[in-house]
Amino acid sequence: MACYGVLRADTQTMLLRFGDGRPVSGVTTQFLGWLTAQLAQEQKQALLVVWDHASWHLSRDVRTWIKTHNRRVTREGGCRLGLCQLPTKSPWLNRIEPKWVHGKRAIAEPERKLTIEETTQRLCDYYHCELLAPLAQKVA
């Protein structure tokens, strides 16, 4: 299971989506598409994404998707994406990192390993967000 999340600077709330399997480019682009659609419904025109150097952030597929998305938004309207890469090995610069730490600590049970269903529900309850259907990895 992969967990994608955004800490909104405007509301200080979290938006979460889970993905089947590990985080990969195809799931990342689905998450970004869902996220920009959500924000466009709120009339947001741009989103600045601050992220690290994970392979699923830097892949050619993700970069191409973002360029295509931004071109389409320029023509048709919607929410553009701006990217800000963090310096390597500096997670403390990303404001979401402390939120992740507190969330993981709050839901963990030292006596046993939680199921995927328990983990996703507890994270959504902790961050006060809706539990949506997981993003599926597309098989070629």
- Residue 6 covered by a domain: yes
Mean pLDDT of 80-96: 84
Count of domains observed in the chain: 1
CA 28 – CA 21 distance, rounded (Å): 12
What per-residue confidence (pLDDT) applies to 53? Answer: 79
Nearest in space to 36 (alpha carbons), one of 84, 73, 76: 73
First and final CA of the chain: distance in angstroms?
Answer: 19
Nearest in space to 37 (alpha carbons), one of 2, 9, 74, 69: 69
pLDDT tens sequence across 9-39 = 899 999 999 998 888 999 999 999 999 999 9
- Residue 17 covered by a domain: yes
- Residue 43 covered by a domain: yes
- Greatest CA separation found in the chain? 54
- Residue 8 covered by a domain: yes
Note whether 23 and 136 are within 8 A (CB).
no
Note whether 134 and 3 are within 8 A (CB).
no
What per-residue confidence (pLDDT) applies to 77? Answer: 96
pLDDT tens sequence across 89-110 = 777 778 888 899 999 999 999 8
CA 83 – CA 121 distance, rounded (Å): 29
Query: What's 59's domain CATH number?
Result: 3.30.420.10
pLDDT tens sequence across 36-77 = 999 999 999 999 998 887 888 889 999 999 999 999 999 999
Nearest in space to 126 (alpha carbons), one of 99, 90, 96, 97: 99
- Residue 137 covered by a domain: no
For 54, the domain range is: 2-127
